[in-house]
Structure 1
Amino acid sequence: MAASAASGQWGRSMTDLATELAQWEQDEIDRANASGRTPVVFVHGLWLLSSSWQPWRDLFEESGYATLAPGWPDDPPTVQEARAYPEVFAHKTVQQVTDHYLSAIAQLDRKPAVVGHSFGGLIAQKIAGTGAAAATVAIDNAPFKGVLPVPLSSIRSSSPVLGNPANRGKAIALTFDQFVYGWANNLDRDEARQLYDSYHVAASGVPLFQAVVANFNPFHNEVTVAARNTDRGPLLIIGGAKDNTVPLAITRATYNYQHKHNPGVTEFTEIPDRGHSLTIDHGWREVAEPTLEFVQRFTS
């Protein structure tokens, strides 16, 4: 561990961030520190593993960055193992996952850029709100407290979890048809099936329940972002124009009503004709390249 990290380099002590990292996650941290390069941390959302970021990592590594893609706590290393033991995903909360990533970031010698998708996009913004990110990109981010639009397609996409209150304590997998509606609505069935078979795993029901009640809780809750923190750093919000799970109404509200008035750099980009699978489907480069360009503007 770097000495600076032990003293809370990014403004929080390791005691505050205490969470157990897997050995492979620690190895990625050590590799990033040894490289001397600017690190980029990728944060996945529900129903994926960190391995879904591999094409992005290859692109960023080729561009001179050291990349890390920690998992959520207890994530299995492979899709096959995740499907064999889906119960390990249950009970994970938004703050628990955020603290896991902050624990990894606290051990980095250099402040990283952070890139997140879906609930990973929400978590990336929470990380930025602590001042721990040099630049942040949130892609089709899940809504948080203060983001008010709830489009019907978003309700339908989340209904496999929210339709049963008992799912809060479970790990829930989507059926193929549910995945098509929520993730692959703009793709042909063959590609949708390939993505489902290659990437889809069960997910904790807790974050969705946390998000749905966030605006009804008058007090601070885990689905809260310090959007106006002046130490937030540059932020790019990306929205897929055909996303059923996180429609443009949500990403636009994230920009217009939460981050737009931060004095730091805040930008919004709409990706035409793209659904929630935009980070893993055939058009991933259309999203990865503007993400890389944004990160390059604010990191060295």
Structure 2
Amino acid sequence: MANRTPVVFIHGLWLHASCWDAWTRRFFVGGFEPVAPGWPGEPDTVGEARQRAAAIDGVGVDDVVSHYADIVRSFETAPVLIGHSLGGLIVQRLLGMNLGRGAVAIASAPIEGVELPSPYADFCVKFPALSHPENIARSPEITLEQFRYAFANAVSEDEAASLFDRYTMPSPGRTLFEAAFTHSSRNSRSSVDTGNAGRGPLLLISGQEDCLVPDAITRAAYKLYGDSRAITGLKQFVDRGHSMIIDSGWRTIADYTLGWLNHMGVRGEPSSADRPPVVDQAIG
């Protein structure tokens, strides 16, 4: 395993670390050494996480960043970072800190400097957990109806219900509030060093049917990296929603990611499973 490049997968709000199980198997076959550690205090299974929601009470964005920074620093070889939703924001923060060999941010939560389109802002304001300030100290659950709207709008109702049962868990209210309202804060938790010219390559991926993180947010983030000489790529998937890493189309996203890494010179051992992607756009 000594020749394998490590990959650290980071999930976002409402999903358990097990959401990456299929990805870790795919990346292992592709020659990488994948790991998908949970957030600070996150129980090992979805069932435990639902029963012990208080275990993650009070965890904030900076806590999550610090947690994964320690994990990334623990590797002898700099790992690739792959994050989804809030995890996409986390990997961008870490890469901007020169942690990680490269990163892929899938349907990433907005970084500082992105002007939020009104549908996203409206969703944050209307999201029930955000209407109760006391939830900042709790770990509220997501309902099937909310999951269907925010994550699984691009799949069938049956598939949405299956994904909800298999992967969802309560999430720390503090992280939720910080992610939703950080742009109005003086100490933004979404601040990323987009001008860092010495970082590794970054790929931003969006789904054009995503209701939680609309494609416009990803495109706006992509533009913010325009002043950096470091490589930044953008890939947009038609007819894909926020659940793209866990739904029936996950493999298309995973294989594109493997191909992009191969294209960037980050190859597994062996690399025969990789295939070169068509890079839609790239800066650098």
**Please, what TM-score do these two structures have when normalized by structure 1?**
0.84
Structure 2 counterpart SS, 1:260: helix
SS in 2 for 1:131: coil
What is the Cα deviation at residue 211 of structure 1? 2.8
Moved more, 80-89 or 274-283: 80-89
**Matched residue, 1:187:** 155
Aligned partner (choices 84, 90, 93) of residue 51 of structure 2? 84
Contact 2:13–2:176 (Cα < 8 Å) also in 1? no
**Which residue number corresponds to residue 118 of structure 2?**
151
RMSD (Å), alpha carbons: 1.5
* Structure 2 match to 1:120: 87
**SS of 1:237 mapped into structure 2:** strand
On the 8 A contact 1:151/1:247 being kept in 2, the answer is: no
Deviation of 1:294 after TM superposition, in Å, equals 1.5
Q: Is the 8 A contact 1:241 1:248 kept in 2?
A: yes
Quote the offset at 1:69 in angstroms.
Answer: 0.9
Cα deviation digits, residues 9-56 of structure 1 (max 9, x gap): xxxxxxxxxxxxxxxxxxxxxxxxx53311111000111111110111
| Counterpart residue number, 2:146 | 178
| Aligned structure 1 segments of 4 or more residues deviating by more than 6 angstroms | none
Amino acid at match of 2:129: V
Structure 2 residue 187 is the aligned partner of structure 1 residue 212: no
1:197 maps onto 2:168 in alignment: no
Q: Distance in 1 between matches of 2:198 and 2:16?
A: 29
Among 282, 293, 298, which residue is 2:259 paired with? Answer: 293
Superposed counterparts of 1:135-284, under 5 Å? 135-153=102-120, 155-156=122-123, 159-218=127-186, 220-256=187-223, 258-284=224-250
Equivalent residue, structure 2, for 1:70: 37
- The count of corresponding residues between Structure 1 and Structure 2 is 265
Residue 213 of structure 1: CA displacement?
Answer: 3.1
Structure 2, unaligned runs of 5 or more: 268-284
Which deviations, in whole Å up to 9, do the C-alpha atoms of 1:59-92 show, x marking residues without a partner? 1111110011111001000011111111222211
In 1, Cα distance between equivalents of 2:119 and 2:242: 15
Pairwise CA distance, 1:214:
2.7
Deviation at 1:153, TM superposition (A): 4.6
Q: Which amino acid aligns with 2:137?
A: G
- Report the secondary structure of 2:246's partner residue: coil
CA distance, structure 1, for counterparts of residue 141 and residue 121 of structure 2: 17
Matched to 1:266, the amino acid is T
AA of the residue aligned to 1:265: I
Look up the equivalent residue of 2:141 and give its one-letter code.
A
Residue pairs, 1:1-80, within 5 angstroms: 35-80=2-47
Deviation per residue, 1:214-256 (Å, 9 max, x gap): 33334x4322111111222111000011111101111111111
Cα distance in 1 for partners of 2:234, 2:87 equals 17
TM-score by length of 2: 0.89
Quick one: which amino acid aligns to residue 128 of structure 1?
L
Deviation at 1:107, TM superposition (A): 1.1
Supply the AA of the counterpart residue of 2:215. L
1:154 to partner: Cα distance: 5.5
**Residue 228 of structure 1 contacts residue 262 of structure 1 at CA under 8 Å; is this kept in 2?**
yes
Q: In 2, distance between residues paired with 1:154 and 1:292?
A: 33
Task: Provide the identity percentage.
Answer: 38
- Equivalent position amino acid for 2:143 in 1: T
Partners of 1:130 and 1:231 within 8 A in 2:
no
1:135 and 1:292 mapped to 2: Cα distance? 12
**Contact residue 154 and residue 247 of structure 1 kept, 8 A:** no
1:6 is matched with none
Deviations 1:135-177 (A, max 9, x none): 1100000112211123315532661222222221110111111
> Quick check: 1:128–1:136 contact (8 Å CA) kept in 2?
yes
Q: Which amino acid aligns with 2:235?
A: T
| Contact 1:237/1:255 (<8 A) preserved | yes
Alpha-carbon separation, structure 2, partners of 1:202 and 1:129: 29
